[in-house]
Amino acid sequence: MMKLWEGTIPLLAEEGWRDSLIEDGAPGWSARRYCSADLLLRLRPIGLALRATPSALSLGSAHPPLLCEEGHKFHDVAATFINGTKIAEDIKREVASELEDLKHRGIQPGLAVVLVGDDAASSAYVNMKAKTCEQLGFYSRKLTMPSSLSTDQLLCEVRKLNQDDAIDGILVQLPLPKHVNKHAILESVDPQKDVDGFHSANVGSLVLGHETLVACTPLGVMEVLRRSGVKIEGANAIVLGRSDDVGKPQAILLMHANATVTICHSKTRNLPDVVRQADIVVAAIGKTAMVTRDWVKPGAVVIDVGTNKVSDRAEVQRLFGDDPTRWKDFEKRGYIWVGDVDERGVKEVASMMTPVPGGVGPMTIATLMKNTLKAARTRRAV
Ligand code: NAP
């Protein structure tokens, strides 16, 4: 895989950019200036030869790759991996700083997390949320209930939290046991404290474009896109998946950000062809590495929401070859987390993509913290 170009190279550029490229082609020409995802998507060959120094063409980690042509052969440069962990840390720092200000005014916003049953993964998520709350300076309360709890009993607990003035945000960890009426529970949360953004009042406000509490994962995806400098306005965005908690709100958020949005699901015909039209792909289907290289338009930005547990050695080998990091994780835990996107293939054509783990995952907790702060500010009018 080629990382840099030296000497005279034919660049690919849209006609409209030709003059500025020529103008800037002299010694100080910088690929970075033109190497936006937006340009990348609009590049086409004009056979223009420019002399550029290797340093001018070196691509910083914050920039997407430039596809350049040598003869008629494309040399792909690996996609920039968006560091979701770093963006999440930035958001948490911002939240902590606002909490510090509120503390000086005698205000400490609080989040209650409700766990029903003893599912190990849910328990780990709840602990992580509670711990992050405490680290940032929120008041945190964790309620653990037995899986035998009835819908009525859980409704009663949620109503108590609705009335509790110390609590600004309520999160009922999903999935709930099968006998519990999930819809009734989610609808029982005071919309002002609904930091998951699942209440129909908040979903309705989102659709109408009103300021409201929005589901954490799609909100996190928007933060990732914006903070990575991805141009959303005018882009063709494909959302793979139409779930209530990810796909639907994601599509609405992208639409409000002026993308042209297509929502795909299990009944979509010619899915790869549809996805290939996208400048931005958000994959949230829960199917291991289903989005492969040939589905992705060169230069597209690919956001991988999928979190799939892979515990089969042969599957790890197929997806990651001898990648030492993956194998280290696998040997340690007996499984690894893999997204809906085939990382090895797609990084060859995408301009930017989120890894799994370390992409969208950490963002979900960060946006939960942001939502809790927002809920507190709205409810307490501070
Ligand atoms: P979900 O409720 O199971 O929804 C999956 C969606 O994908 C459905 O709309 C389904 O279509 C569609 N789909 C399934 N198979 C498909 C196929 N073969 N082709 C096209 N579409 C297909 O899942 P979810 O809750 O949205 O979660 C999706 C993924 O994101 C999961 O891996 C989940 O673990 C992950 N996730 C991650 C985070 C995070 O913080 N990183 C948060 C939430 C979810 P139909 O509607 O037609 O059935």
CA nearest to 249, candidates 203, 293, 286: 203
Burial (Cβ within 10 Å: 0-12, 13-18, ≥19) of residue 17: middle
Average pLDDT over residues 330-337: 96
Mean pLDDT for all residues in the chain: 84
CATH number (3.30.390.50, 3.40.50.720, 3.40.50.300, 1.10.10.10) of 216-358 reads: 3.40.50.720
> Is a pLDDT exceeding 60 seen at residue 30?
no
pLDDT in tens, 344-374: 999 989 999 999 999 999 999 999 999 999 9
Is the distance from the beta carbon of residue 18 to the nearest atom of ligand 1 less than 6 Å?
no
Which are the catalytic amino acids?
Answer: 129, 173, 196
Is the distance from the beta carbon of residue 266 to the nearest atom of ligand 1 less than 6 Å?
yes
CATH code assigned to 109-209: 3.40.50.10860
> Is a pLDDT exceeding 90 seen at residue 33?
no
User: Distance from the CA of 154 to the center of ligand 1, in angstroms?
Assistant: 27
Three-state secondary structure string covering the chain? CCCCCCEEEEEECCHHHHHHHHHCCCCCCCHHHHCCHHHHHHCCEEEEEEEECHHHHCCCCCCCCCCEEECCEEECCCCEECCHHHHHHHHHHHHHHHHHHHHHCCCCCEEEEEEECCCHHHHHHHHHHHHHHHHHCCEEEEEEECCCCCHHHHHHHHHHHHHCCCCCEEEECCCCCCCCCHHHHHHHCCHHHECCCCCHHHHHHHHHCCCCCCCHHHHHHHHHHHHCCCCCCCCEEEEECCCCCCHHHHHHHHHHCCCEEEEECCCCCCHHHHHCCCCEEEECCCCCCCECHHHCCCCCEEEECCCEEECCHHHHHHHHCCCHHHHHHHHHHCCEEECCECHHHHCCCCCEECCCCCCHHHHHHHHHHHHHHHHHHHHHCC
Query: Which tokens sit at 166?
Result: 């110390």
User: Distance from the CA of 284 to the center of ligand 1, in angstroms?
Assistant: 5
Ligand 1 atom with the shortest distance to the CA of 247: 26
Average pLDDT over residues 109-118: 96
67 or 28, which is more confident?
67
> Is a pLDDT exceeding 50 seen at residue 4?
no
The CA R_g of the chain, rounded to the nearest whole Å, is 23
Residue 286's pLDDT band, with cuts at 50, 70 and 90, is very high
Indicate the domain borders of the chain. 7-77, 109-209, 216-358
Upstream peptide bond of 175 is cis (omega within 30 degrees of 0): yes
> Is a pLDDT exceeding 80 seen at residue 191?
yes
Q: Which mutation among 85, 217, 266 tests ligand 1's pocket best, with the greatest number of atoms within 8 A of CB? A: 266
> Is a pLDDT exceeding 70 seen at residue 91?
yes
> Is a pLDDT exceeding 70 seen at residue 47?
no
pLDDT in tens, 259-284: 999 999 999 999 999 999 999 999 99
Ligand 1 atom with the shortest distance to the CA of 240: 21
Q: What is the pLDDT of residue 293?
A: 94
Average pLDDT over residues 223-231: 96
Burial (Cβ within 10 Å: 0-12, 13-18, ≥19) of residue 213: buried
pLDDT in tens, 156-169: 999 999 999 999 99
pLDDT in tens, 121-159: 899 999 999 999 999 999 999 999 999 999 999 999 999
Provide, rounded to the nearest whole percent, the portion of the chain with pLDDT above 90.
77
Q: What is the pLDDT of residue 79?
A: 81
User: Distance from the CA of 271 to the center of ligand 1, in angstroms?
Assistant: 15
CA nearest to 244, candidates 287, 214, 211: 214
Q: What is the pLDDT of residue 77?
A: 53
> Is a pLDDT exceeding 50 seen at residue 16?
no
> Is a pLDDT exceeding 60 seen at residue 233?
yes
Q: What is the pLDDT of residue 329?
A: 96
> Is a pLDDT exceeding 80 seen at residue 312?
yes
Q: What is the pLDDT of residue 78?
A: 67
Residue 45's pLDDT band, with cuts at 50, 70 and 90, is very low
CA nearest to 278, candidates 224, 238, 230, 234: 238
Q: Do domains 109-209 and 216-358 have the same CATH topology?
A: yes
Q: What is the pLDDT of residue 188?
A: 98
Lowest-confidence region among 1-15, 97-111, 233-247 = 1-15
Look-up of token digits 């507190």: 376
Is the distance from the beta carbon of residue 190 to the nearest atom of ligand 1 less than 6 Å?
no
